[in-house]
Structure 1
Amino acid sequence: MSLVSATPSEIITGDSTSLAQLVIDVQQRRTSQRRCAPSLANRALEAVLAEDAGRLDPAHPDSIFTLEPRLAAGEGVPFLPRERLLTPAEQRTVIERFARAVATGQLTSGPAVARFEAALADFLGLPHAVATGSGTDALITALRAVGVSQGDEVIVPANSFAATENAVWACGATPVLADVDPVRHTLDPAQTQAVITSRTRAILPVHLYGRFADIPALVGLARRHGLSVVEDACQAIGVTGVGVHSDAAALSFNPYKNFGLTGKAGAVVTRDTELAARVRKLAYHGFDPEQKNVKDETFGLNTRIDNATAEVALGLMPRLTLNSYRRTFLAKRYLDCLGDLEPHGAAVLPAFVQDHSWHLFGLQVAAGREVRDAVRAHMRSLSRVETDIYYPVLTHHQQTPLHRKLFAHVSLPSTERLHSTVVHLPLHNNLSLAEQDRVIEALHAAFRATH
């Protein structure tokens, strides 16, 4: 994706680096020369820039942001309203696209799958994308494709969704936990090295909340030990560097994700042609892609994306970058409005960095779990603002018999400390400015009441 007539600094590729810079440019009123690289994912943002770049600023009278829904006194702010995951226009697009698939009868296999994979690979700047039935399916097929099997170990963090460890179990391997970096909240390369054994086959870092893990360091470590690296990028679509250094990366298009569809879907993306071919076979019964119902692998799964879902994805994809810009701007707005909490030692805010998709906006309540829980209760009861703690139970604190057997003596100080202080504020594609203002006011009030 490149524009020959524009300088690199003027081009918005749609990745997290270019969007973070665009947010700064908008705040400083420097948008006149900004242009989008040609990509299906960039079309809505490209149209806004062509019409009036000022619309990217919430202060513009015709901004892409809105004060709706306006909040009446006492009206609450939900953490993630399901009925507003898609705008009315997006909902109409979904219905039209699904009707197209129904009319042709191409509900499972069909041409939309290949078109979506090509559009996704083009947007990410990677040669290969294999669309799957879910992010979990993407993780499983990617791990199997790099050779993870019975008896192997895969290093993972403990502060992730269960799909991360479940993908390892599904390969017959065992998840091994390593502590996280206290700033990124993702796998710490030094802690990862400490748990490598002769049985380790792969490292599975998670881009938690959308923040890019230290993949270059983890890949360097893996190569020294002859290991593979598969990224759990299910919260990190569009983040600069995803799939560039590792063997493969797994994405999720669950309705709650930044690019959410109307059901479960995902993809494996990679630079490796042979690995992509293995993923395609594993994801569809082990069949040879060139011969119908002829097996080329002994074992395979039924994990390919449906053609109907791919049609929906193609319909929604033009707004991907525009929605990512909205999330990035709202995250920066949170940071600008909550910055006064840090000097007083009340909170630790995430940094506004270029390698973040802002799937979630989490901050740490410095005083610890009890004050964190009091802040949440105050916001809920007095301001009717919902917050959340994603993944409330860490992997090594789960109470299944196998978890107790494997992880009873595991200690992860950084992971546990972060887990006891983090709280997540509402942040989604269609969060209104009025709602965000209410969240900011409620958080300040809660800190005054609890400190």
Structure 2
Amino acid sequence: MTTFLNDSFTGDSTSIHRLVGEVRRHEVPVYRCSRSLANRALSDSLAEDVGRLDPSGPDSVFAVDPRRAAGDPVPFLPKSRLWTRDEQRIAVEHFARVVADGELTSGSAIGEFEDALAEFLAVPHAVATSSGTDALIIALRAVGVSHGDEVIMPANSFAATENAVWACGATPVLVDIDPVRHTLDPALVETAITPRTRAILPVHLYGRFADVPGLAEIARRHGLGLVEDACQAIGVTGVGQHSDAAALSFNPYKNFGLTGKAGAVVTRDAEVGVSARRFAYHGFDPERKNVKEDAFGLNAKIDNSTAAVALGLLPRLTLNSYRRAFLAKRYLDALEELAADGTAVLPAFTPDHAWHLFGVQVAAGREARDAIQARMRTADAVETDIYYPVLTHRQQTPLHRKHFAHVALPLTEQVHARVLHLPLHNNLSLSEQDRVIEALHAAFRATAH
């Protein structure tokens, strides 16, 4: 086993990706981690016993949760296991301190969390918000999006992305995805720009980084704002580095989840940061409460109680990121045969991914995908899901029919009809993952006949 020194471990997706490869090759890395609060638990694991990062190591971080029996059904995302018992204890303790102080809405935890988040993401400005949706609205407003504007975005995202555009009084303009990342295709974005276009809004789908550098060049050339929907991409290398702003989500079901809805706007631009902070709190001057600098704003700051919980849980962020990446690589290795024979298309194991979701494409199409999903549920008690079941331009409200009735996005629609999402969360056990893998192989075999 090889021992070596690496001075550049920051806890971002690139360093996590490298660490997964090293552990799987049975190398023993000796790291100097950055001092970011988000790295604390992973740094401790590296310092104490790197074997904890290997499933076979002593006191492994992949130890099976004692609340679960071996033969239980495998849920897609169990609410009772979003946090470990230790994480639950930490959250309760931090919340209790705020309750005792009475600082539930405003307090020092907000600024401390914003500073820690900015340090981890290597951006100078972070504004913590009451949800990821609010973060998107605030970021779009901060770059100048308003009534009558157009914002270019993909159709394969959660409704919050389009809703943020509508909330600004603007109109979403839907563009197809590239065939590799399944995120906005820069070449198609450029053809969709009109005199009304005000901003570009890429989504880091399932945690995979969109081609933000390519989109940034287009935005610069046309004088447009660029806001990243990074709500599934906490910790991904490059988030907030090439755009005007990025929006994050800390919904309980995200990679870094809190006690309720929460999010953040992060930016390198001081003016955007100040504008976001004003708009997040009624348009007030950030230094003078109740004194307006903007005509209006939202009541969308994170609560001090939620920020206090965030400070308690943040030290485990990169450790959980490592777990997700390791499990993703384990899926890819175990499902390689399906990709080799052309029956499935697997995501690439790349350093620009947070692995919020793990999607497998069933090459035979929607009917085969649906049959595989049904068989895994009924024959093996393994739950899967489809994110998102209805694409933006296929929603049937009067507003959507008016704007998108004639929109065709061939690649987006093809991928959407074939994708199936397998369980992947911070506390998925190896035995559960093995059952998912076995069930998927069995379902492919059964539907092939």
Q: TM-score range by the shorter chain?
A: over 0.9
Question: Residue 320 of structure 2 corresponds to which residue in structure 1?
Answer: 323
Which amino acid is 1:324 matched to?
S
The TM-score normalised by the length of structure 2 is 0.97
Deviations 1:218-277 (A, max 9, x none): 110111111010000000000000000000000000000000001000000000011100
Q: Is the partner of 2:290 in helix, strand or coil? A: coil
Pairing 1:169–2:166 present: yes
Task: Select which of 16, 24, 31 maps to 2:13.
Answer: 16
Aligned to 2:392: 395
Matched with 1:266 is 263
Q: CA deviation at 1:420?
A: 0.3
Aligned 8 A contact 2:51 2:58 in 1: no
Supply the distance in 2 between the matched residues of 1:256 and 1:434 (Cα, whole angstroms).
Answer: 21
Q: Which residue of 2 aligns with 1:3?
A: none
1:410 is matched with which residue: 392, 403, 407?
407
Q: How far apart, in 1, do the equivalents of 2:130 and 2:288 lie?
A: 21
Q: Decide whether the 8 Å contact of 1:364 with 1:421 is kept in 2.
A: yes
1:11 shift after superposition: 3.1
Is this contact kept in 1: 2:125–2:273, CA < 8 A? yes
| Residue 299 (structure 1) aligns with | 296
Q: Secondary structure at the match of 2:226?
A: strand
Residue of structure 1 in register with 2:441 after alignment: 444
Distance in 2, Cα, partners of 1:409 & 1:365: 27
Structure 2 partner of 1:282? 279
Tell me the equivalent position of 2:22: 25
How large is the RMSD of aligned CA atoms in angstroms?
1.1
Partner of 2:144: 147
* Deviation for aligned residue 1:292: 2.0
Matched, 1:79 2:76: yes
SS in 1 for 2:335: helix
Distance in 2, Cα, partners of 1:337 & 1:357: 20
Name 1:343's counterpart in structure 2. 340
Q: Deviations 1:368-392 (Å, cap 9, x if unpaired)?
A: 0010111111101100100000110
Confirm or deny that 1:312 pairs with 2:309: yes
Paired residue for 1:247?
244
Asked if the contact 2:22/2:29 (under 8 Å) is kept, the reply is no
Alignment-derived partner of residue 208 in structure 1:
205
CA distance in 2, matches of 1:10, 1:57: 21
Q: Give the letter aligned to residue 211 of structure 2.
A: D
Q: Give the Cα–Cα distance (whole angstroms) in 1 for the partners of residues 27 and 70 of structure 2.
A: 35
Deviation per CA, 1:77-104: give whole Å up to 9, x if none: 0000000001111111111111111111
Instruction: Quote the offset at 1:30 in angstroms.
Output: 1.9
Q: Residues 71 and 448 of structure 1: is their aligned pair in 2 closer, same or farther, counting only changes over 3 Å?
A: farther
Residue of structure 1 equivalent to 2:374? 377
**Are the counterparts in 2 of residues 126 and 271 from structure 1 also a CA contact under 8 Å?**
yes
2:440 counterpart SS class = helix
Quick check: 1:48 aligned with 2:45? Answer: yes
Q: Give 1:34 shift.
A: 2.4
- Return the alpha-carbon distance in structure 2 between the equivalents of residues 11 and 194 of structure 1: 40
- Whole-angstrom CA distance in 2 between matches of 1:217 and 1:307: 37
* Contact 2:30–2:46 (8 Å) recurs in 1: no
Q: Which residue of 2 aligns with 1:368?
A: 365
In percent, how many aligned pairs have the same letter?
A: 72
Q: Does 1:35 align with 2:39?
A: no
Please, which runs of 5 or more residues in structure 1 have no aligned partner?
Answer: 1-5
2:265 corresponds to which letter in structure 1? V
Q: Deviations over 1:4-58 (max 9, x none)?
A: xx96x44320000000000001011222322321111011011111110111000
Give yes or no for the alignment of 1:237 onto 2:234. yes
Code of the residue aligned with 2:82 in structure 1: it is L
1:22 and 1:449 map into 2 onto residues whose CA distance is 37
Identify which range, 57-66 or 123-132, moves more after superposition. Answer: 57-66
Alpha-carbon distance in 1 for matches of 2:59, 2:89? 22
Amino acid corresponding to residue 167 of structure 1 in structure 2: A
1:68 Cα deviation after fit: 4.0
Q: In 2, are the aligned partners of 1:181 and 1:188 still within 8 Å (CA)?
A: yes
Q: What is the alpha-carbon distance in structure 2 between the residues aligned to residue 41 and residue 367 of structure 1?
A: 42
Secondary structure of residue in 1 paired with 2:315: helix
1:430 to 414, 427, 431: 427
Equivalent pair of 2:98/2:305 in contact (CA under 8 Å): yes
TM-score by length of 1: 0.97
Q: Is the 8 A contact 1:282 1:297 kept in 2?
A: yes
1:71 Cα deviation from its structure 2 partner: 4.5
Deviations, residues 152-176 of structure 1 (Å, cap 9, x unaligned): 0000100000000000000000001
Bigger mean CA deviation after superposition, 383-392 or 188-197 = 188-197
- C-alpha offsets along residues 377-433 of structure 1, whole Å, 9 cap, x if unaligned? 110110010000011000000000010111000000000000000000000000001
Q: Distance in 2 between matches of 1:122 and 1:116?
A: 10
Q: Give the secondary-structure state (helix, strand or coil) at the position aligned to 1:322.
A: helix
Structure 1 residue 67: Cα displacement:
3.4
Q: CA deviation at 1:72?
A: 4.0
Question: Shift in Å at residue 66 of structure 1?
Answer: 1.7
Give secondary structure in 2 for the equivalent of 1:20.
helix
Residue 54 of structure 2 aligns with which residue?
Answer: 57
Secondary structure of the structure 2 residue equivalent to 1:277: helix
Q: How many residues align?
A: 444
What is the one-letter code of the residue matched to 1:221? I
